[in-house]
């Protein structure tokens, strides 16, 4: 989804806490954390109330501050527009919007009580938000000659909380009428998906009401229609001013419960209404799930729902924790992850400036991603990237590289001391006991790149079965010793994307397989084919 001067860019970033892009002090802490993680991007809000304190009067100080801090630290920037909506509410709108309740209408619940969200059918609100976004983007464009800003998030987790739809008069009139023309066109073009099935299941008519078309889900689908059109219009206007990647983030519905407006904001681009959002907000390049789930199943389900032909997977918010440190590698391999950010980056360090212990594994995962970045950009979606993740009770993995099979041994499960040998700095228990994780890239022609923690790879060339099963090849210890390496080295990619070697591994250091640990950087090996 990201692009730097026409080239793919795998963004690894930290999003600052909601109120942290207002002062130098807060931002400094966020930058410190980002630097400790060795990330390449900072994501920071631009608050509407601060940017347009009086209607038509703009203050871009927040943008200037973030840009200065990013440039001082060699970081890219993703700006988040906290405009009409932030987490299903409208707390970030300026005072002049909050005060004029006639001009800027608020969504109401079923008993007529106002919610904390402006209405998605409020055309005056949309016009005002759109003008502000145009000004903001025009300013960003004028300041972005060096390409520091790589993307713009339009609103934040939009939708309605406390009600499945706006029951106010203007919205109610549209809801009670038959489906509008553009909605009919959309439905008639659909061929599959959840909305399609619901609609067909309810008869598939177009000259019908929202209720008749979608039954129980009518309110949510109606809200999504209103939100997608509102935000789609803002993005379209914004793109005319400055054509940079734009995305919408989602408070997803893959939770324990699934009640719109209660468990997640109704009308946001949840998996139920993704087709609709892609259609009505076509200028949004990517619809992105915020993934805070620790369990692998839900994490992967969400990835699988949002990675589509027409939608690359980018995770704009996640936790900097042990689980994410494992799951993200599978997201790279299976779902072509194009970037990942974690939320509340400035909370990842303590008051002494030390990275919190609970973020350590995530730091290692970031290190792996960073060291592999040019490879991820090159091989994304090619099937050449392999995730290594040690699941519960797993002692090894078997990978098929085409020309080779690969046996991954997790160091914490190897019992043979001789076979565990790494090097003079990495043989003690601390290095060996971590849960294995990382990535392997097979570039072809016997060339491998590996990074991560706690595993080693032993290759088995797929020649003939007699040779493979001879004692020289069959026994893991002998096989590890009999690899036909042209080279095994540790190193990194430089700014131009060239591999720079720091150390060549030979003898004992390569005889027991290709091993990784996060502080050795990237391991590069070429094996005879």
Which of 89/213 has CB closer to ligand DGJ? 89
Tell me the two tokens of residue 97. 């919007």
For residue 346, the minimal CB distance to ligand DGJ (Å) is 13
For residue 120, the minimal CB distance to ligand DGJ (Å) is 18
- How many other C-beta atoms lie within 10 A of the C-beta of residue 58? 15
Which of 21/368 has CB closer to ligand DGJ? 21
Q: If you write DSSP's letter for every residue of 81-111 in order, what string do you get?
A: EEEEEETTB-TTS-HHHHH-TTTSPEEE-TT
- What are residue 249's DSSP bridge partners? 288
Which of 289/438 has CB closer to ligand DGJ? 289
Which of 129/317 has CB closer to ligand DGJ? 317
Site string for ligand DGJ, 270-309 (x = CB under 6 A): --------------------x-------------------
For residue 82, the minimal CB distance to ligand DGJ (Å) is 8
Among 220, 317, 333, 346, binds ligand DGJ (CB under 6 A): 317
Contacts of 427 (CB under 8 A, 6+ apart): 420, 421
CB 277 within 8 A of CB 289: no
User: CA–CA separation, 436 vs 367, rounded Å?
Assistant: 14
For residue 14, the minimal CB distance to ligand DGJ (Å) is 13
Tell me the two tokens of residue 5. 């001067």
For residue 255, the minimal CB distance to ligand DGJ (Å) is 13
User: CA–CA separation, 318 vs 230, rounded Å?
Assistant: 26
Total of residues contacting ligand DGJ (CB under 6 A): 7
Q: In the range 465-504, which residues lie near ligand DGJ by CB under 6 A?
A: none
When asked if residue 21 is in the footprint of ligand DGJ (CB under 6 A), the reply is no
Which of 44/237 has CB closer to ligand DGJ? 44
Sheet hosting strand 404-410, strand order edge to edge: 396-400, 404-410, 455-461, 514-516
308: left (phi over 0), alpha (psi -120 to 50) or beta: beta
User: CA–CA separation, 373 vs 287, rounded Å?
Assistant: 22
User: CA–CA separation, 362 vs 33, rounded Å?
Assistant: 12
Which of 252/516 has CB closer to ligand DGJ? 252
Residue in this structure with the two tokens 């729902």, named with its chain if needed: 305
Which of 82/401 has CB closer to ligand DGJ? 82
Q: Give how far Cα 209 sits from Cα of 112, 165, 220, 246, 495, Å.
A: 22, 15, 14, 33, 57
Which of 229/341 has CB closer to ligand DGJ? 341
For residue 315, the minimal CB distance to ligand DGJ (Å) is 12
For residue 367, the minimal CB distance to ligand DGJ (Å) is 25
Which of 290/346 has CB closer to ligand DGJ? 290
Q: Within its chain, how far is the Cα of 482 from the centroid?
A: 41
For residue 162, the minimal CB distance to ligand DGJ (Å) is 17
For residue 131, the minimal CB distance to ligand DGJ (Å) is 24
Which of 166/290 has CB closer to ligand DGJ? 290
Which of 222/264 has CB closer to ligand DGJ? 264
When asked if residue 22 is in the footprint of ligand DGJ (CB under 6 A), the reply is no
Q: What are phi and psi of 97, to 5 degrees?
A: -80, -45
DSSP three-state, residue 447: strand
Q: If you write DSSP's letter for every residue of 448-494 in order, what string do you get?
A: EEEEEESEEEEEEE-S-HHHHHSHHHHSHHHHHHT--EEEEEEEEE-
Among 156, 223, 271, 479, binds ligand DGJ (CB under 6 A): 156
Among 18, 108, 125, 163, binds ligand DGJ (CB under 6 A): 18
Tell me the two tokens of residue 248. 């919408």
For residue 500, the minimal CB distance to ligand DGJ (Å) is 38
Smallest CA-to-CA distance from 186 within 155, 215, 214, 219 is with: 214
Q: In the range 197-226, which residues lie near ligand DGJ by CB under 6 A?
A: none
Smallest CA-to-CA distance from 30 within 345, 258, 475, 419 is with: 345
Site string for ligand DGJ, 116-155 (x = CB under 6 A): ----------------------------------------
DSSP three-state, residue 203: coil
Q: In the range 83-102, which residues lie near ligand DGJ by CB under 6 A?
A: 87
For residue 385, the minimal CB distance to ligand DGJ (Å) is 28
Which of 290/330 has CB closer to ligand DGJ? 290
Q: Within its chain, how far is the Cα of 272 from the centroid?
A: 19
When asked if residue 157 is in the footprint of ligand DGJ (CB under 6 A), the reply is yes
Among 343, 404, 419, 515, binds ligand DGJ (CB under 6 A): 343
CB 335 within 8 A of CB 304: yes
Residue in this structure with the two tokens 């099935």, named with its chain if needed: 197
For residue 376, the minimal CB distance to ligand DGJ (Å) is 25
User: CA–CA separation, 219 vs 272, rounded Å?
Assistant: 12
Residues that bind ligand DGJ (CB under 6 A): 18, 87, 156-157, 290, 317, 343
């Amino acid at each position: 989804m990201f692009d730097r001067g026409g080239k793919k860019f795998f963004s690894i970033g930290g999003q600052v806490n909601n109120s942290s892009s207002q002062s130098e002090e807060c931002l400094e802490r966020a930058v410190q954390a980002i630097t400790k993680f060795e990330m390449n991007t900072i994501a920071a809000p631009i608050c509407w109330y601060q940017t347009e304190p009086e209607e038509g009067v703009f203050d871009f100080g927040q943008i200037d501050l973030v840009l200065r801090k990013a440039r001082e630290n060699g970081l890219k920037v993703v700006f988040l527009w906290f405009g009409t909506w932030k987490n299903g509410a409208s707390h970030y709108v300026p005072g002049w919007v909050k005060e004029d309740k006639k001009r800027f209408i608020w969504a109401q619940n079923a008993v007529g009580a106002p919610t904390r969200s402006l209405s998605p059918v409020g055309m005056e609100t949309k016009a005002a938000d759109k003008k502000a976004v145009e000004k903001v983007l025009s300013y960003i464009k004028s300041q972005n000659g060096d390409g520091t800003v790589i993307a713009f998030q339009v609103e934040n987790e939009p939708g309605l909380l406390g009600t499945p739809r706006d029951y106010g008069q203007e919205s109610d009139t549209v809801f009670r009428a038959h489906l509008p023309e553009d909605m009919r066109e959309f439905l008639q073009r659909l061929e599959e998906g959840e909305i399609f099935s619901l609609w067909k299941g309810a008869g598939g008519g177009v000259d019908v009401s929202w209720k008749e078309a979608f039954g129980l889900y009518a309110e949510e689908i109606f809200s999504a229609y209103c939100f997608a059109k509102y935000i789609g219009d803002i993005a379209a206007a914004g793109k005319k001013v400055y054509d940079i990647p734009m995305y919408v983030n989602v408070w997803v519905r893959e939770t324990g419960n699934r009640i719109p407006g209660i468990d997640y904001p109704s009308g946001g681009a949840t998996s139920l209404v993704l087709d609709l959002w892609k259609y009505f907000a076509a200028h949004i390049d990517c619809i992105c799930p915020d993934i805070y789930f620790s369990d692998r199943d839900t994490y992967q389900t969400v990835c699988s729902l949002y990675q589509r032909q027409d939608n690359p997977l980018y995770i704009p918010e996640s936790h900097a924790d042990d689980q994410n440190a494992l799951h993200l590698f599978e997201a790279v391999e299976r779902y072509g992850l194009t970037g990942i950010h974690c939320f509340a980056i400035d909370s990842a360090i303590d008051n002494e400036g030390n990275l919190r212990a609970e973020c350590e594994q995530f730091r290692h995962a970031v290190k792996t991603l960073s060291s592999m970045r040019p490879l991820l950009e090159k091989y994304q979606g090619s099937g050449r990237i392999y995730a290594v993740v040690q699941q519960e009770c797993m002692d090894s993995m078997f990978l098929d590289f085409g020309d080779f099979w690969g046996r991954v041994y997790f160091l914490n499960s190897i019992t043979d001391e001789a076979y565990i040998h790494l090097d003079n700095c990495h043989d003690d228990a601390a290095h060996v006991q971590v849960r294995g994780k990382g990535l392997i890239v097979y570039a072809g022609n016997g060339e491998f790149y590996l990074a991560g923690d706690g595993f080693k790879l032993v290759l088995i060339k797929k020649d003939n079965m007699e040779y493979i099963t001879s004692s020289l090849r069959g026994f893991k210890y002998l096989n590890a010793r009999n690899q036909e390496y042209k080279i095994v080295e540790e190193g990194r990619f430089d700014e131009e994307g060239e591999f720079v070697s720091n150390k060549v591994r030979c003898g004992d250091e390569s005889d027991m397989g290709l091993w990784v640990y996060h502080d050795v950087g990237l391991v590069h090996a070429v094996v005879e084919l």
